[in-house]
Amino acid sequence: MRLGKLSPHELERLVFPFQGAEREEVVFGPRLGRDCGVLRLSPLYLSCTCDPVTGTSFGAGSLAPHLVANDLIASGAEPVALVVSLLFPPEASVSLLEETMRELDEAAKAIGFAILGGHTEITDAVTRPVIHCTGIGIIAFEPLPDVTRVKPGDTIVMTKGAGIEGTAILALERAKELQGILTDEELKRAQTFLKRVSVLPEGRIALRCSPHCLHDATEGGILGAVFEVCSAQGLGFILEEGKVLLFPETEKIARYFGCDPLRLISSGTLLVFTPHPLPLLGALQDAGIPASVIGQVTENGRVLIRKDGTREEVTECPQDELWRLLEVSKP
């Protein structure tokens, strides 16, 4: 099997049929395009999600809490609590464990997460540290944003830029290779892109504008996220490459590695599916958050319009470019 998340077809065949016991408290369970489960524990709605960091070991403790916080805000929930599972290989040092815990603590405090507990283990089952976080949040907005509310005609809005997380990981993992491709200043700036991965500010703004659905673009990038959300409803989309926001550092790194930034892991980018984009765009602009209308949900057909005007049929959810590059770099 290929590296990275399972494809939508694999998830629907191998994962989603197995959902355990039926509980009346469950509002939303596992579904394509949905990253959180939601429970109603009257009068509260609780949102739950989990995510590992596997693409990099640089700053992983700082990154991990933000990934689950992003999922929570996309479900309409404010982050409340975090449970952390840490797996370290036998050669890991005590200082690495301490540094990871310090990063987790600082990120959790910045977000507002209380760390409730978890599991910490040294094991030869992994060759580098694996951080897995489970996040819990409280939902205060109704109606709940969800993939099931996406409709033809919805506008697709993106924030900040494509490939944010992938840019940071490649700049950190391939720093020596990128020297000379990027200036020293550009490389240092790209390496700090992990500080841009939170979508909490734009998520809170978007929730006040009653969106149909919020989705943070992680593995598979912008294109993968749009594909997941629309295919979950049996819908199509038109996506315009020329309207996708892109940082100059991302553009240079993507050009060098020959990868598509629309398919590059993009934590830090929020996608908003909404019938009323103008109030959202105005509110984001007032907050100083870049945003762009990049496409529209359609009845059928999944089309990417390239910058040169050519139309590309998107027939499957793309493998993330980061994993493709990691596979290519294996000895």
For the domain spanning 23-139, the CATH number is 3.30.1330.10
331 falls in which pLDDT band (50, 70, 90)? very low
> The tokens 């943070």 sit on which residue?
216
- Please state, in angstroms and rounded to a whole number, the distance separating the CA atoms of residues 251 and 166: 11
Mean predicted confidence (pLDDT) in 9-19:
88
Residue 35 has pLDDT above 90, yes or no: no
Residue 57 confidence (pLDDT): 65
Q: Which pLDDT score, from 0 to 100, does residue 3 have?
A: 64
Does the pLDDT at position 25 exceed 60?
Answer: yes
The domain locations on the chain are 23-139, 147-328
Q: Kindly report, residue by residue over 201-226, the tens digit of the pLDDT.
A: 999 999 999 999 999 999 899 999 99
- pLDDT tens for each residue of 301-324: 999 999 999 999 998 887 789 888
Give the separation between CA 11 and CA 312, rounded to whole angstroms.
25
Q: What is the pLDDT of residues 264-294, one digit of tens each?
A: 999 999 999 999 999 999 999 999 999 999 9
Residues 6+ apart with CB under 8 A from 101: 61
Evaluate whether the domain defined by 147-328 bears CATH number 3.90.650.10: yes
Cα-Cα end-to-end distance for the chain? 18
